[in-house]
Amino acid sequence: MATAVIMPKAGMAMEEGTVIKWFKKEGDQVEQGEPLLEILTDKVNMEVEAQTSGTLIKIVKQEGQVVPVTNVIGYIGAVGEQVEDTIKSIEDVSKEEISENKGVSQGNKKLEAVIGKQAATPAARRIANEKDIDLSKIRGSGSFGEIKVKDVLEYKNVSITPLARRMAEENELNIGSMTGSGFDGKIVKQDIESLLTLKEEKPKIAGEKFSRRPLKGIRKIIAERMLQSHIEIPSVTLHAKADVTELTSIREKLNKTIDIKLTYNDFVLKAAACALKEFPNVNASLMGEEILYKEEINIGMAVALEDGLIVPVIKGAEDMSIKKISIKAKELSGKAREGKLMPDDMIGGTFTVSNLGMYDIVSFTPIINQPESAILGVCAIEEELRLSGEKIEARKIMGLSLTFDHRVIDGASGAIFLRRIKTLLENPLEMLI
């Protein structure tokens, strides 16, 4: 019997994944543990390994398709085996279990998990059968992705060729109200191409030109999370300036003596770790009616990619030297840019540092990365003339912007925390000893 390949749930927050690339094609031999395909999860690209050996007899979900977790994306079986035979066999086993009173729910779950049918309420399944609607074509609106009656009633069972349906799904087109140019109104490839052309046409507004791109993948995840953070959190941003002239000198000396190159951001990460250890009220998360104070300091570092922002996490930063922090930061940022981060590299953050200094930004308002309670923005280093005694000196000044959740952190507490980071950056030997 064929084994289903499902979209894995790589993390509690993951609800769907995108098929990026199949490493095998239908008919290819597959070995257990061998990379089978690449998917995009919660801002992370990861490889899915084959859970069994055999032949990839069916690819259900194509590259570019977005698939709810636990849904079937392919089948591995024996050469010549038909997926339909597998489904029929499983249906017979499930019906037998149900007839023996082993539980309708258990039987349905087994059936749906293995053959790739969407979970559906009994009423929704009954109506779908009456209307001859394929439930696998419907995306459920239930809390766990299950199909409800309204989902079935709102779905129009359109007549469409497989290629046209794939094109429509890849481009997220609504085909429910379409009438195709094929026989008896069937939607064909040319109909989808015409609709795509209309979407890309210039708007009939004098003087305006623009193009459209669907909000999906990393961009969609970022949009959802940023909006959620903005709506749910009463945030406050404080700005300060740190004189990093001495830090600049020490950094230059260290980089001549050690085998790695320390960046300014490495020093900021170290200062944040030290300050969080002193002020555990900032290393916290609001969970319902409780505030959770985290013992471990895990600092997220925002990394800009071509299509969005990703935040790998340096775990246990409170026990790391500046050299270890630098090594880990370089490792994570490299993996992020190469698309090699694993889900474990992204979870567990308790505080985030976002550095826009390289873009000459002197002040900004970073948005909190939930469920954390604070984020530090790092700005450009500028030269300023300052009076020292009777002398005017050129000093190097770094801008700092701290955004925090006012439900968890009071204004004075946030100011004291930010001042501590400023002090550490102005006296770097204190955090290096």
Residues annotated as catalytic are: 406, 410
DSSP labels, 304-319: EETTEEE--EETTGGG
DSSP string for 134-170: -GGG----STTS-B-HHHHHH-----B-HHHHHHHHH
What is the SS3 assignment for 17? strand
> How many degrees, rounded to 5, is the angle at CA 185 between CA 180 and CA 190?
25
H or E stretch at 66: strand 66-68
Tokens for 350? Answer: 């308790």
Strand partners of residue 17: 67
First to last CA, the chain: 63
Q: Please, what is the Cα angle at 310 between 306 and 311, to 5 degrees? A: 150
* Residue 284, C-beta contacts closer than 8 angstroms, at least 6 positions apart: 291, 292, 293, 294, 350, 373, 408, 409
Q: Are 301 and 292 in contact (CB under 8 A)?
A: no
**Is the omega angle on the peptide bond into residue 371 within 30 degrees of 0, that is, cis?**
yes
Question: CB–CB of 141/148 below 8 Å?
Answer: yes
